Amino acid sequence: MTKLIVSLILLFSINLIAQDIISKPKLSIISLDKVKVVYRGIDNPITIAVANAKEYWVSGPGVSKTDELGKYLIRPGSGNELKIIVAIKLQDDSIFTEEYVYKIKGLPIPISTLNSQFSTQGYLEFSIDELKDAEVGIKFIDFIYGNFNPSITQFSIKVPRQPTITINGNIFTEEVLQLLKKARKKDIILISNIKGSYMVGQGLHRPISNLIFQIKK
């Protein structure tokens, strides 16, 4: 009889615990929840929404509010993880907190692009016509945020047997086109010293890879 009573008590306790877990889903939703990754050295945009709350407060290292519509920015510092706390006041004035933990990653190595094309092996080929107003850019391989597009502020270009020229901005100018017309068949043309507008870590630029290409003859 005693064993039966103990079994019933245990079963009843487990059932209460299970009901408690099921009946208390998180009220807050963070738009990064499926990603679980934030990048060090840049502003990671997030949106936070809380259902049926009088008000709520968000805290965490590097977290700042940008408007009244639940828009925030996260700029991670040191460490490998970042914890965000959402404190929620319900309609009955009770307050409880929810916790979100994200992995902090460094930015991937920036790969240089020309007219959005890039190569990690070998070189690219373009005709002179394709290079009119061509744009030098950056691509981050395996980068989660597709809307992060840092601009190029300067680059140098070298054609064999010709002096190197440096261009401010990211567009091939008429000076660049005239230089490219002096290239011979199979000449390897180098774009180097590429500088971007983004900053990482303690305000240091992460080196951007050089790019090589040939002119189609």
pLDDT tens by residue, 53-78:
889 889 888 898 888 778 898 888 88
Scanning the chain, the segments in alpha helix (DSSP H) are 2-22, 174-180
**How would residue 32 be classed by pLDDT, with cut points 50, 70 and 90?**
low
Which CA distances in Å does 95 have to 23, 55, 151, 194? 17, 10, 44, 51
- Same domain membership, residue 74 and residue 37: yes
Task: Using alpha carbons, select from 100, 101, 78, 97 the residue that is nearest to residue 88.
Answer: 97
**How would residue 4 be classed by pLDDT, with cut points 50, 70 and 90?**
very low
- Same domain membership, residue 70 and residue 121: no
- Same domain membership, residue 119 and residue 80: no
Q: Is residue 21 part of a domain?
A: no
Q: What is the pLDDT of residues 83-101, one digit of tens each?
A: 999 999 988 888 988 899 9
pLDDT at 2 over 60: no
Count the domains in the chain.
2
* Average of per-residue pLDDT across 138-148: 72
Q: Exposure pattern of 132-144 as b/e (b: 16+ CB <10 Å)?
A: eebebbbebeeee
- Same domain membership, residue 161 and residue 92: no
Q: Are 61 and 95 in contact (CB under 8 A)?
A: no
**How would residue 134 be classed by pLDDT, with cut points 50, 70 and 90?**
very high
Last residue of a domain, one of 105, 136, 152: 105
* Average of per-residue pLDDT across 184-193: 93
pLDDT at 12 over 50: no
Residue 59's Cα: distance from chain center in Å? 21
Domain that holds residue 91: 28-105
Distance CA 167, CA 172 (A): 8
Mean pLDDT, the chain, integer: 80
